[in-house]
Amino acid sequence: MIFREKYKNLYNFIGAWFPDADFEDLTDKEIVLSYKGVSSKETIEGCLNDISFLIKGSNFPLDEIREITNIYFEDKNDCITWLIGIKNNLEN
């Protein structure tokens, strides 16, 4: 599976907004709020849909997500928990 092609909105969001978050001392919530401030409703909805499909699907791309976000996740469940948190912040 090619993550960036199958989950384009999510790939663009997490790949652009999360890799340097630790260096900038930003929380996930702060990143999501900033992203929501400059993104269209359609793009945000696309991210929400991508997360929903991704966490329910098979062939979870853990290594790709680790690489593009620059975040170490213990395992698939750790990553899914993080994605659910991102989804919740996007929805609020």
Per-residue pLDDT at 22: 79
Element (H, E) at 16: helix 8-17
Per-residue pLDDT at 12: 96
Q: What are the pLDDT digits (tens) for 16-67?
A: 999 988 788 899 999 999 999 999 999 999 999 999 999 998 889 999 999 9
Q: Is this structure's pTM higher than 0.85? A: yes
Per-residue pLDDT at 1: 57
10 touches 54 (CB < 8 A): yes
Per-residue pLDDT at 37: 97
Per-residue pLDDT at 21: 86
51 touches 10 (CB < 8 A): yes
Report domain extents, the chain. 3-91
C-alpha distances (whole Å) from 72 to each of 12, 22, 42, 64, 69 are: 19, 12, 29, 11, 8
